[in-house]
C-alpha cells in the first residue's frame, strides 16, 4: 500500500509540472500551432511596399521609396546600405508565418507582445496599411523563430525575415568608406595620393608617366612631399589596392555635432587621406578619409562629406603606417632604355660600352664594344641592372668614399646630352655603397646584387644568350 501511495504522489507531481507548462505555453496545438507547417502569407495582394515606419528599442525610423530610390526621413543626405534596405522590403513583401498560436491573443505577455520589441507600420504604393508587432524569440529554437502579432493573431515567423527591423537607423547607413577596387587594376589609374598628418609633413605622391624599362611598361610616381624624389614602384601593388574597399565596423554617430567630433578625435583628425584616380575611360574620381588616432586597435573615421562618424579596425587601414621612408623608391636608377644613347660599365679592369640606335623601333640596333648584341638578351641583362634595389636610401650623411675601394662605375649618357654616374664602393663582404653623381644621392645594398649584375654583363659581352628573369 505504501508503495502505491508513493507512485500516486509521483504521478501527481508530474501532472502539476505539465499543468504549469501548459499554462505558460498553452497546449501544443495552441502555442506552436500544428507541427505540420502552416504557411500564412501576410502581404497578400502583391503590391509594392512604399514606406516602413519602425519603432523599436533603438528608436524609430521611417524608410521610404521614391520610385526605386530608398531614403530614410531625416537622413536623405546619407548613403544607405542598399543590401540591407532591399532585404527589409523584400522580406516584408514575402513575409510568411510558419505557425499560428490559436489562443495567443489572450496571452500576449507570454510571447513578449504586451511590450513588443518592435512595432512596424507598412504602407503599400496603393495606400494600404499593415501593422505587425515583433515579440520574443521562440524558446528552444536557437533564435531562428520569433513571435509576431498581426491582425489579432499571434504567429511564429522566421527571425531572418524581420531581424533588420529590430535595429536602429544606424544599421541602414552604408558602411562603405572607400569605393571597391576594380577586378583588373588596369581599369583605374591613381593620379595622386596624399596622406596628411596632424603636426607632421604631408606625404604626397603624383603620377608622372609610364615607361619601358626592359621590355615591360610600368607606371611611375614621384614623391613631391616631403621631398622631391621617385616613389617606390611597389605602390601600385602594395599600397593602392588597400586604399579601396574599406568597410567600417559600425556607425557611431549620425550627423555629429562639434562636441561629438571633438570627443572622437575628428574635430582635428590625426591623419587625412585623399586619393584621386581615373577609370578606364579617363573619367576622374576622388575620395577622402579623416581618421582619429588608433585606440586599442580601433579608429574613428569620417568619409568625404558624409556626415557620419564610423568605427573601423586599424588593421583595415595599413596606409596610416606609410611614411616618406617607406614609400620612397629604393631602386638605385631605372632609366628608360629608349632615352639612352650610351651605357658604360667599368669593373675589375674590364669596360663594357653599349651604344643604342632606334630602340623599340624597326631599325633597333644595340652594340657592345662595337659588336651587335641581341636585343632580348640585353633587355634581360638591363632588367638586372635596373632592378638594383637599396636596403637604405641616403639623402644626407654620406660615407667618406676616400676610405672606400671602388668596385664599379656605371655611366648613363642620355640622348638629350645629360648623364648620370653611379660609383659603387666596397663596404664589406655583404654590402656595397653606391653613390649617384658624386654625392647627389647614396644607396646601401646587398653586395650579391652588384655581383650578379657584373657577372651577367660579362656573359652578355661574351655573346652568351641571357634568359629573362621576370
DSSP string of 193-220? EEEEETTSPPEEEEEEEEEESSSSEEEE
How does residue 216 score in pLDDT terms, banded at 50, 70 and 90?
low
Helices (H), 26-97: 28-31, 82-93
How does residue 217 score in pLDDT terms, banded at 50, 70 and 90?
low
User: For 233-238, which contacts have Cβ atoms below 8 Å and span 24 or more sequence positions?
Assistant: 233/329, 233/331, 233/334, 235/193, 235/205, 235/327, 236/185, 236/190
At the topology level of CATH, where does 337-461 sit?
A: Dna Ligase; domain 1 (3.30.1490)
Beta carbons of 173 and 79 less than 8 angstroms apart = yes
Reported as a single tens digit per residue, the pLDDT across 134-171 is 999 999 999 999 999 999 899 999 999 999 999 999 99
Read off the pLDDT of each residue in 7-26 and give the average, rounded to a whole number: 42
Read off the pLDDT of each residue in 394-400 and give the average, rounded to a whole number: 92
Give the pLDDT of residue 469: 66
Give the pLDDT of residue 35: 38
How does residue 41 score in pLDDT terms, banded at 50, 70 and 90?
confident
Read off the pLDDT of each residue in 50-62 and give the average, rounded to a whole number: 96
Beta carbons of 327 and 232 less than 8 angstroms apart = yes
Give the pLDDT of residue 414: 97
Rounded Cα gap, residues 27 and 25, in angstroms: 7
Rounded Cα gap, residues 42 and 45, in angstroms: 9
Rounded Cα gap, residues 22 and 7, in angstroms: 23
Give the pLDDT of residue 220: 85
Map residue 83 onto helix, strand or coil.
helix
Beta carbons of 293 and 265 less than 8 angstroms apart = yes
52's enclosing H/E stretch is: strand 49-56
Give the pLDDT of residue 67: 85
Range name among 104-113, 233-242, 281-290, 300-309 with the lowest pLDDT average: 233-242
State the sign of the Cα–Cα–Cα–Cα dihedral 242, 87, 308, 293: negative
Read off the pLDDT of each residue in 9-36 and give the average, rounded to a whole number: 41
Residue 138's nearest CA partner among 26, 59, 58 is 26
Reported as a single tens digit per residue, the pLDDT across 352-380 is 999 999 998 999 999 999 999 999 999 99
In this predicted structure, the answer to whether residue 45 has a pLDDT above a threshold of 80 is no
Residue 310's nearest CA partner among 244, 261, 241 is 261
Give the pLDDT of residue 377: 95
Give the pLDDT of residue 183: 65
In this predicted structure, the answer to whether residue 3 has a pLDDT above a threshold of 60 is no
Give the pLDDT of residue 211: 61
Beta carbons of 388 and 331 less than 8 angstroms apart = yes
Residue 301 bridge partners (DSSP): 291, 310
In this predicted structure, the answer to whether residue 1 has a pLDDT above a threshold of 70 is no
Mean residue pLDDT across the chain: 88
Reported as a single tens digit per residue, the pLDDT across 404-463 is 999 999 999 999 999 999 999 998 879 999 999 999 999 999 999 999 999 999 999 999
Q: Where in the chain is the domain with CATH 3.30.1490?
A: 337-461
Read off the pLDDT of each residue in 59-70 and give the average, rounded to a whole number: 94
Residue 71 bridge partners (DSSP): 64
Amino acid at each position: 500500500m505504501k508503495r502505491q501511495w508513493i507512485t500516486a504522489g509521483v504521478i501527481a507531481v508530474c501532472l502539476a509540472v505539465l499543468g504549469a507548462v501548459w499554462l505558460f505555453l498553452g497546449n501544443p496545438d495552441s502555442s506552436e500551432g500544428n507541427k505540420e507547417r502552416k504557411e500564412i502569407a501576410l502581404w497578400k495582394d502583391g503590391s509594392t511596399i512604399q514606406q516602413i515606419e519602425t519603432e523599436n528599442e533603438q528608436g524609430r525610423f521611417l524608410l521610404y521609396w521614391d520610385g526605386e530610390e530608398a531614403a530614410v526621413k531625416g537622413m536623405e543626405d546619407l548613403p544607405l546600405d542598399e543590401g540591407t534596405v532591399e532585404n527589409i522590403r523584400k522580406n516584408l513583401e514575402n513575409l510568411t508565418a510558419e505557425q499560428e498560436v490559436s489562443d495567443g491573443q489572450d496571452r500576449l505577455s507570454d510571447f513578449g507582445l504586451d511590450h513588443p520589441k518592435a512595432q512596424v507600420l507598412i504602407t503599400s504604393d496603393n495606400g494600404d496599411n499593415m501593422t505587425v508587432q515583433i515579440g520574443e524569440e521562440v524558446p528552444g529554437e536557437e533564435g531562428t523563430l520569433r513571435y509576431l502579432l498581426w491582425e489579432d493573431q499571434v504567429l511564429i515567423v522566421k527571425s531572418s525575415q524581420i531581424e533588420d527591423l529590430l535595429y536602429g537607423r544606424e544599421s541602414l547607413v552604408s558602411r562603405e568608406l572607400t569605393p571597391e577596387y576594380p577586378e583588373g587594376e588596369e581599369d583605374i589609374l591613381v593620379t595622386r595620393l596624399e596622406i596628411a598628418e596632424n603636426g607632421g609633413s604631408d606625404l604626397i605622391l603624383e603620377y608622372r608617366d609610364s615607361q619601358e624599362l626592359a621590355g615591360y611598361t610600368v607606371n611611375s610616381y614621384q614623391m613631391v612631399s616631403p621631398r622631391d624624389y621617385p616613389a617606390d614602384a611597389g605602390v601600385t601593388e602594395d599600397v593602392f589596392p588597400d586604399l579601396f574597399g574599406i568597410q567600417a565596423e559600425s556607425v557611431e554617430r549620425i550627423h555629429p555635432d562639434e562636441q561629438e567630433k571633438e570627443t572622437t578625435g575628428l574635430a582635428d583628425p590625426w591623419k587625412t587621406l585623399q586619393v584621386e584616380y581615373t577609370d578606364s575611360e579617363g573619367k576622374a574620381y576622388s575620395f577622402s578619409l579623416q581618421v582619429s588616432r588608433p585606440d586599442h586597435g580601433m579608429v574613428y573615421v569620417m568619409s568625404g562629406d558624409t556626415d557620419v562618424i564610423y568605427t573601423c579596425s586599424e588593421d583595415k587601414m595599413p596606409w596610416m603606417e606609410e611614411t616618406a621612408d617607406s614609400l620612397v623608391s629604393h631602386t638605385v636608377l631605372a632609366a628608360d632604355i629608349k632615352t639612352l644613347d650610351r651605357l658604360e660599365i667599368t669593373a675589375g679592369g674590364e669596360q663594357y660600352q653599349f651604344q643604342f640606335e632606334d630602340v623599340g623601333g624597326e631599325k633597333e640596333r644595340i652594340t657592345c664594344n662595337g659588336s651587335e648584341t641581341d636585343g632580348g638578351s640585353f633587355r634581360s641583362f638591363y632588367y638586372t641592372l635596373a632592378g638594383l634595389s637599396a636596403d637604405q636610401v641616403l639623402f644626407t650623411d654620406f660615407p667618406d668614399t676616400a676610405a672606400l675601394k671602388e668596385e664599379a662605375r656605371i655611366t648613363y649618357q642620355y640622348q638629350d646630352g645629360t648623364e648620370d654616374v653611379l660609383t659603387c664602393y666596397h663596404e664589406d663582404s655583404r654590402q656595397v655603397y653606391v653613390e649617384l653623381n658624386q654625392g647627389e644621392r647614396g644607396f646601401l645594398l646587398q653586395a650579391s646584387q652588384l655581383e650578379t649584375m657584373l657577372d651577367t654583363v660579362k656573359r652578355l659581352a661574351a655573346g652568351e644568350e641571357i634568359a629573362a628573369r621576370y
